[in-house]
Amino acid sequence: MQKSAIELGRLVRDGEVTATELVDASLKRIEELNPELNAFILVDEEGARATAAGIGPGDQRPFAGVPIAIKDEAAVNGLRLTIGSDVFGDYVPDFDSSTVRRLREAGFVIVGRTNMPEMGILPVTEPRRYGPTRNPWDTERTPGGSSGGSAAAVAAGMVPVGHGADGGGSIRIPAACCGLVGLKVARGRVSRAPTMGESFLVQESVLTRTVQETAEILDVIAGYEPGDASWAPPESDTFAAAVRKDPGKLRIGMTTTPALEGDLDPPCEQAAREAAEVLESLGHDVVEVDPPWAGEDQLPVFSRVFGTNVSIGVTIGAALTGREPSPELVEPLTWELYTRTKEMDGHAYQLAKMQLETLSRQIVGLWNDMDVLLTPALAQRPVRIGEIDSCGDDPWNEFRKSGYFTPFTAIFNITGQPAISVPLFHGDDGLPLAVQLAGPPVGESLLLSLAAQLEEARPWAERRPELAAA
């Protein structure tokens, strides 16, 4: 799985390799590496091989025969869905989510499900049910979360593409930890059908090695589905075309001020400043800005809205298995968020959401004077396994501690703006070192164009962990 998903699709189409050969290679890598990394929690060898057997040369679907991993959060017909939690038991959906359906229609072959933290709460992937996923760059450290299993699988070369979902940084964080491209799309760009009309915080996308792959896959999964409550307006051209366009001279704001109090690791700050220098060398104007979130602690307000999503997940999981929610079925942090939310009335929820929307207007106002905002992707280097513990004695402190690790990402889930993590550098500690670019509302095309320009100036796709190159 050393080639891009785009190139692999072309090889199958031209008859230079078969879909079965690609799937067998993916399954072999999973067999070799998963015992150490624990990226996959379910491998569907029989289903993947059966799908691959039906794909032949000349198949014009863009990704025909290309293996893909699906996070344990999206419905896949016939595959167990648990969202990392015991509360879902062994529930097996009898339908595909719209994103999964579109990925299948584009020719992707699903080889299995990847690990995630329970209910997608934490930016590390260490669920009690399945155990920790390890970073291929350093197996003592986290691959990030919540799409950590998918990120580890792509970084290790098990699959060329991993599905993810991002409700507070859950694509961008693992992309930053594992040296990948991670795009959180604009609110409403990718449908949440058929189970949800819309989502205030969570958006689906993929983790890849290159900007071009991310753009071409976004062309596949983006778009309205019947019954969507709201959706992002369609672009005038494809996202793939945006990658090939010069972004022009841009006004880029930069801040290293985190949205939560806490220390910023010097390498993370230095990465943002060096990225600013690269951008200036490409002809852009870069100016430091004071963000509206400076000095504000938004975690309590954010947690009321985010925690409601968690509470609903617990309630649905228990209902699907015919049980009542209980602390035995979920981790202590999940139970803490569940009980706090249950004690909150609808008035408090709507007030919290309104506060976030008010903050959003202030943040989006920055784009009156700029085109893109540059920040560090993370505030700390990838933390060690066990450093953030959802089963610890003080769950709320663990939740807050996770925010110190990742204070730059959730802001753009609140505003609904697109944001992308790009692995522009590599640290002295041997780990990838990423920055985040945030675009204007529904501005994925601009972000992809700029990210592609950075990738051309400072290529990263061939940087691979030793474990993947073996």
Residues marked as catalytic = 71, 146, 170
Find the radius of gyration of the CA atoms of the chain. Answer: 20
Which residues, at least 6 apart from 315, have a Cβ–Cβ distance to it below 8 Å? 325
**Nearest C-alpha neighbor of 374 from the set 252, 465, 269:** 252
Structure tokens at 85: 């939690």
Residue with the two structure tokens 């049910």: 129
Q: Please list, residue by residue across 11-29, b when 16 or more beta carbons sit within 10 angstroms of its beta carbon and e when fewer do.
A: bbbeeebbbbebbbbbbeb
Structure tokens at 89: 């038991």
